[in-house]
Structure 1
Amino acid sequence: MTPAHARVFRDLHAGPGPLLLPNAWDVASALAFVADGAPAVGTTSLGIAAAAGRADATRAVRSLTIDLAHRLAGLPVPVTVDLEDGFSDDPGQVADLVAALPVAGLNLEDSSAGKLVAPAAHAAKVAAVKERCPDVFVNARVDTFWLGERASAEATVGRALRYVDAGADGVFVPGPLTEAQVRELTGALPVPVNVLATPQHTVPRLAELGVRRISTGSLLFRAALDEAVGVVRRLRAGRPAPSATAYRDVDARTATLG
């Protein structure tokens, strides 16, 4: 991470509209998003895990996430990584991991093994990372709605404020949210609020509700799988192959990272 990338990434949360963040699962997908004009790129733990034949949110992709972060370090835009729960219960170990990554930001979720953790434990991780890496944008993820555990705006805000007090730069609340819940979150939290792109809410409407960052999460990876299956079905049905980005263009993009 360069200091310029850290500043750019922070500033993207204060622009005229929300930051629409595409989440990559490998180098090729990240390069495609950059070629399309994305001002920053994130990673998706599900995409990384599924592509490697592993389960998500089980700490199984620690080494793969680290490897991808280093491979993406040469991108001309800021990179933020999905670190699940930091791959450790120890705040110091999480901070050590972040300090070794060339990234402008990260997501850190307050659940492990499919259950919410004590907010104090997650706040300790946030604090340790911010003390060690003050320039890195820490997006504290609150998994209340994602897991359906204590899934209310009031409980979510209470947990989120603990993480903001610990130094979190933003709060990410994935899961099914109503407009009223989104508005309550953005009105109660003093940092940029991040939600997932879903069929229920458009980007313009989320902007009106005060959202400052919209992540695609695993959506692009899952949609890519659907599109690939669709091409096979098209060919099987006797229809011509669809057009796609040229072989040479994909190869040339990859060469830019050395």
Structure 2
Amino acid sequence: MTVEAFRALHHGRAADDPLVLPGPWDAASARVFADAGFPALATPSAGVAASLGREDGHTPADEMFAAVTRIVRSVSVPVSADIEAGYGLAPKELVARLLDTGAIGCNLEDSDSVTGALKDPRPHADWLAEVRAAAGGALFINARMDTFLQGVADPDEAIGRIRLYEEAGADCVYPLGVPPEHLPLLRAETALPINVSPLPGGPALAELGRLGATRITFGPQLQQEAMQKVREIADRLLG
């Protein structure tokens, strides 16, 4: 599937049929999801970090790109990669290294991967525009905004960032941690696809779609669920 076909997956969907992209953390989990029939996958940086024995936000760029490469080459479906805040790489180098992995898209967040501090949205939008220019149409850029994650409850802050990132050329926006009741407001403010991660105890995936979500990803949730199953196996073996 080409990046154009991947983009097309995000458009023209029924409201109760958001695009569901599981998050593989290694080649084996990627094959499971692909074999199950999902049309594309989206790696979670935290899940990949855990598989590498790293803390979230502390994976060296070389290790993350190598892990993404292994995931991409293990499946025939397209893979979008969470590359956090870009590892301090210049836009041209970042795009070149990402394309070398075979990924056709990426998440780029607007908070510092280590400190968690929110970035000034205007310089960040300028940087996103440079990434867009370097990539041309070769990458699907999912611009993550972390206002809700960082405790900024006012949806107007997220809306302002959405507008800036849309102008910068983002293909999709990702208000991580958005309360479901704010989704219709965000949906009314942008024509871009909106990526949502389901909250524990929150609405079902179809309902998130009806509220305004276009695409569903899971961050490290699936990797954590899998590790809980491994723990259950370990406990059983210990008797």
Fold shared per TM-score above 0.5: yes
Pairwise CA distance, 1:132: 1.5
Distance in 2, Cα, partners of 1:151 & 1:97: 35
- 1:113-153 Cα distance to aligned partner (Å, 9 max, x none): 210011122212211121111221100000111122x3321
Of residues 128-137 and 107-116 in structure 1, the stretch that sits farther from structure 2 once superposed is 128-137
Contact 1:109 1:141 in 2 (8 A): yes
Q: Is 1:133 the counterpart of 2:135 in the alignment?
A: yes
Distance 2:48 2:216 in 1: 20
Instruction: Report if the CA contact (8 A) 1:91-1:124 is conserved.
Output: no
Please say if 1:143 is aligned against 2:140. Answer: no
- Look up the equivalent residue of 1:181 and give its one-letter code: H
What pairs with 1:187-226 in structure 2 (closer than 5 Å)? 187-199=188-200, 200-226=202-228
Conserved? CA contact 2:57–2:84, under 8 Å: yes
Does the 8 Å CA contact 1:24/1:30 hold for their aligned counterparts?
A: yes
The alpha-carbon distance between structure 1 residues 92 and 117, as it changes in their structure 2 partners (threshold 3 A), is farther
Q: Structure with the greater relative contact order (CA < 8 A, sep ≥ 6): 1 or 2?
A: 2
Matched, 1:104 2:138: no
List gaps (5 residues or longer) in structure 1: 238-258
1:54 alignment counterpart: 54
Counterpart position of 2:71: 72
> C-alpha distance in 1, partners of 2:231/2:175?
31
Q: Given the two structures, how large is their TM-score scaled by the length of structure 1?
A: 0.84
2:92–2:134 contact (8 Å) kept in structure 1: no
Residue 93 (structure 1) shift: 4.0
Q: CA deviation at 1:194?
A: 0.5
What amino acid maps onto 1:5 in structure 2? Answer: T
RMSD value over aligned CA atoms?
1.7
Aligned mates of 2:60, 2:5 — CA distance in 1: 27
**Structure 2 counterpart SS, 1:128:** helix
Counterpart in the other structure of 1:43: 43
Q: Distance in 1 between matches of 2:142 and 2:76?
A: 21
Aligned letter for 1:207? Answer: G
Question: Which residue type is aligned with residue 62 of structure 2?
Answer: S
- For residue 187 of structure 1, what is the amino acid of its counterpart? A
Alignment check: 8 A CA contact 2:106 2:140 kept = yes
Which stretches in structure 2 are left out of the alignment for 5+ residues?
none
Distance across 2 between alignment mates of 1:185 and 1:128:
25
Aligned residue for 1:253?
Answer: none
Q: How far off is 1:164 after superposition? A: 0.6
- Supply the AA of the counterpart residue of 2:166: V
| Mapped contact 2:171–2:193 kept (Cα < 8 A) | yes
Determine if contact 1:25/1:43 at 8 Å carries over to the other structure: yes
**Cα pair 1:99 1:132 within 8 Å, conserved:** no
Distance 1:82 1:137, change over 3 A: same
| Counterpart for residue 254 of structure 1 | none
Instruction: Describe the SS at the equivalent of 1:53.
Output: coil
The alignment partner of 2:8 has SS state of helix
Structure 1 121/90 Cα, relative in aligned 2: closer, same or farther at 3 Å? farther
Shift of 1:158: 0.3
- Greater shift after overlay, 155-164 or 9-18? 9-18
Question: Looking at CA atoms only, which structure, 1 or 2, has the larger radius of gyration?
Answer: 1
Runs of 4+ in 1 over 3 A off after TM superposition: 89-101, 234-237
Which AA in structure 2 matches 1:153? P
Deviation at 1:42, TM superposition (A): 1.1
Q: 1: CA distance between counterparts of 2:228 and 2:207?
A: 27
SS in 2 for 1:107: strand
SS of 2:10's equivalent? helix
C-alpha contact (below 8 Å) 2:144/2:173 kept by paired residues: yes
Q: Report % sequence identity.
A: 34
